[in-house]
Structure 1
Amino acid sequence: MTATPAGGRHGRPWRAAGAAVVVVLALVGAGLVGASLKSVPAPRPPQPVAAPASTGPAAADVPSPGADPDVAAATGLARSAPTTITIPRIGVDASIMSLGTNPDGTVQVPPLERAQLAGWYEPGPSPGEIGNAVIVGHVDSAEMGPAVFFSLGALQPGDTVTVTREDGQQATFTVESVKAYPKTEFPTEQVYGPGDRPGLRVVTCGGVFDEAAGSYPDNVVVFASMPA
């Protein structure tokens, strides 16, 4: 697996500290379309409803796993690496690469030259295990334009996300909410924190690209769970 961090248009990366991931500024953005298309307005990715302002990133507007006694009794699948992710509503059918952390503690992302791939944060749960599995991907790139999760913000509660695993099993998740967060208020605990049921978090960049800053200001996060 290539551990090269993404380049091009980007903000500061994720940082992992010990077993817990502390998001400084989350998934990096990528370039828009190539120089040959500069005269054509670049497409803008669809955006979900912005999360309400909060006093801190932990106060995410999503249900707290384990709050329901029935949820605590949920059972998951054995650990197995994911191989593909399929999201019918937005036409995603992509291969998944495994990601870890860089020597400086930042979380790896798929390299820009492979922006059609999604990436699974391997130190966390695998999709279908108890806990929150995290899959990340670029919103766009300079070479290919719209990337794997360009339309992630168009998902709605009730949509499905299916992850195929190396053991041949499929884990199908139902979208509970789709939110946009300023990168300074990334909901770290809700994304990387523990859960009492099989959950999935899908993350990409969001907002309007800031040419001056050279980054996207927001992150789009899909919160989904696997029915019991």
Structure 2
Amino acid sequence: MPEHKGLVLIAEDERHIADLQRRYLSREGFGVHVEADGTAALSAARRLRPVAIVLDIALPGMDGVTVCRRLREDGDWTPVVFVTARDEVADRILGLELGADDYLTKPFSPHELVARVKSVLRRTAGPGQDPVRRVGRLVLDTGRRTLHVDDGPLELTTTEFNLLAFLMRNPGQVFSRDQLLAQVWGYADYRDTRVIDVYVSQLRAKLGEASPIRTVRGVGYAVTDGTR
């Protein structure tokens, strides 16, 4: 399994448009989660921590403008690409004032959507990150996809590596099983979140006392400089 680019949340109530967006983003290596109304989209954004949100303004239940406003009030600055059937200057200004990162007017090419998502991710990522991560006794190189423990190499499966790499890129942050499924596997199948426990158990068995993975009871997992 190649390293995933992260989960994109699509909030779109027109199913054929959402399916098209999902297909093209998936081809580019993104995981995709779709919600058809604003209330569900806001909940999914808070629960899954997507890398970007494609947000239709005219959503049922809660419109996209309100969704974006609620996220920004929470201090959540996940990149947002607004989508609307209207092409009015007032809508664009309102979206940008709320902290949207880009704006697309229907109809648009799915290729353009992919390009816009990639663009906002580049703009918000800042300078290129060092591919080498050091936590405790572990040195992980995402470029070479190698792991060393106490200067000795350790072999991991592709999925084990991707999970450990994600946690080590976000030291100290606690992630729920739902969030890890979304970010590492690129989907959110809430019926099977215990697969995370299996992979964490395998990682701990291989890393032994050098394991930096901490269980946060009732929440999920985090990487710290300490041991288990």
TM-score range, shorter chain: under 0.3
Higher normalized contact order (CA 8 Å, seq sep 6+, divided by chain length): 1
| Higher strand proportion | 1
Q: Scaled by the length of structure 2, what TM-score is found?
A: 0.24
Q: Scaled by the length of structure 1, what TM-score is found?
A: 0.24
Report which of the two structures shows the higher radius of gyration computed on alpha carbons.
2
